[in-house]
Amino acid sequence: MYLIRLYIAGQTPKSLNAVSMIRNFLKSKFPDQSRLEIIDLLKNPELAEMDNVFATPTAVRLRPLPVRRVLGDFSDMQKVLDAFDLNQ
């Protein structure tokens, strides 16, 4: 199981792009074996403490271990895959 928790700031166009990017990479790399949890910090800011998140967008890979946090520009699929070491 590949589990990512994605922290975003509201339903802005860039937030929705980040959601779409992560969802697409999970579908392409781990069909039927992945889960994406989305946390909107405008609605639930206290949840940032859960994964020690300090900025949006941040994607936290919870499974497989070790936990890895990725932040920044999620517009390029290849760079997102690189950040998770999945670009082989």
Partner 1 sequence: MSDRILVIDDEASVRKAIMLALEDEPVQVDAVENGEAGIEMAGRHKYRMIFLDLKMPGLNGVETLRSLRRIDADLPVYIITAFYGEFLEQLSAAEEEGLNFELLRKPIGGDQIRMIISGVSQGPFSY
Residues that bind partner 1 (CB under 8 A): 9-14, 41-42, 45-46, 48-49, 53-57, 59, 68-74, 76, 79-80, 82-84
**Which tokens go with 34?**
């992945």
What is the largest distance, in Å, between two alpha-carbon atoms of the chain?
Answer: 37
Residue 45 vs 64, nearer CB to partner 1? 45
Q: How far is the CB of 36 from partner 1 (least distance, A)?
A: 16
Q: How far is the CB of 19 from partner 1 (least distance, A)?
A: 14
Q: 12: Cβ–Cβ under 8 A, 6 or more apart, which residues?
A: none
Alpha-carbon span 35 to 81, nearest angstrom: 16
